[in-house]
Amino acid sequence: MTQDQKTIYGIIGNPLKHSLSPAMHNAAFAELDVPAEYKLFPLEENELDQFFTDLRKENSPIFGLNVTVPYKEKVLSYIDSLNPLAERIGAVNTIVINQKRKLLGYNTDAPGFMAHMAELEMNMRGKRVAILGAGGSARAIIGTLCMIPDRPESIKIYNRTTSRLETLLEDIGQRINIDIVEPVNSIDDLNMELADVLINTTSLGLKKDDPLLLEDELFHPHMFVYDLIYNPPETKLLAQARKKGAKTANGLGMLFYQGVLALQHWANTQLDDKVKIVMRKALYERTGC
Ligand SMILES: NC(=O)c1ccc[n+]([C@@H]2O[C@H](COP(=O)([O-])OP(=O)(O)OC[C@H]3O[C@@H](n4cnc5c(N)ncnc54)[C@H](OP(=O)(O)O)[C@@H]3O)[C@@H](O)[C@H]2O)c1
């Protein structure tokens, strides 16, 4: 890397078109007045090997990455050192590339989710939680809900592909205590009428023509419904829940908090409030909410 070259950060995943991370991080770099740029790296699975080989080269300008759908678990095999939280969860969404070109893996989704819950004053203690999905972000949510002191009473999880859910629980169960978790084979078995909290961790809802997973009748006014998707700002699922009187929130706050934590790992310093405000403003300008 030459001295006048910009430092590059970015996100790997597929699809990436919906990502608001470039807006958030580039706004932070401008505020901090650092010569850096955050880019999208849309990658097919068969391109991962080459990408990570290039990443280790001395002349690579890339010093930090986020990881999103569908690679949060797959990237583990490329990481040199996992921080304890990422190790326990088994998923990485933030990579620091140090001066020796070693790759350090972190999970900022889990603390990002909890920071958003705190902002929303949503205490999970004793709650009956239903989760949709069993991908990389589900790992972070399940992991953090099982590890926090204010644990829910129960967590029921449904995933379209049952075998993936089984594998996830088998794996994460070796890392942490998941005694409050119960996998279910059908939406009916989620017992939504008894659920206090519903969390969508699937990517269903990202696209306009995505089908509905749940019937309208399953939502009720005493529940809190959280969708990790933030673009569109109101998914069909959140609209269903809102119409039935449930409290709702999208994942924009989680994106913000995980982004702040990721940037703090890359910069190896705490961000001051001024930078955080700029990051949040950039997100709200893009989504209009
Ligand atoms: N707000 C934030 O900060 C934040 C952070 C992380 C993730 N996210 C969002 O969360 C979503 C999931 O991310 P991820 O990393 O967990 O992805 P992932 O690892 O690829 O997992 C995707 C999940 O979605 C399910 N799914 C996909 N298409 C489906 C369909 N048509 N019907 C039913 N289920 C379907 C998958 O089920 P199968 O196993 O059956 O394929 C799997 O459970 C993405 O939209 C991502 O943008 C947001």
72 is known as an active-site residue? yes
pLDDT tens for 32-62 read 999 999 999 999 999 999 999 999 999 999 9
239: tokens are: 């609209």
Q: What is the CATH code of the structural domain delimited by 7-107+253-287? A: 3.40.50.10860
- Give the domain ranges of the chain: 7-107+253-287, 110-250
Per-residue confidence (pLDDT) for residue 3, from 0 to 100: 59
Helix, strand, coil share (%) of the chain residues, nearest 5: 40, 20, 40
Average pLDDT score, the chain = 96
- Residue 52 amino acid letter: F
Atom of ligand 1 nearest to the CA of 256: 3
Domain 7-107+253-287 matches domain 110-250 at the CATH topology level: yes
Sign of CA dihedral 57, 25, 144, 251: negative
Q: How confident is the model at residue 17 (pLDDT cuts 50, 70, 90)?
A: confident
Any residues with Cβ below 6 Å from ligand 1, and which?
Answer: 68-70, 72, 109, 112, 133-138, 159-161, 164, 201-204, 206, 228-230, 251, 254-255, 258
* CA–centroid distance, residue 2 to ligand 1 (Å): 38
Say how many Å lie between the CA of residue 32 and the centre of ligand 1. 32
**Structural element, H or E, at residue 26:** helix 21-32
Question: Is residue 202 within 8 Å of 190, Cβ to Cβ?
Answer: no
CATH tag, 110-250: 3.40.50.720
Element (H, E) at 254: helix 252-267
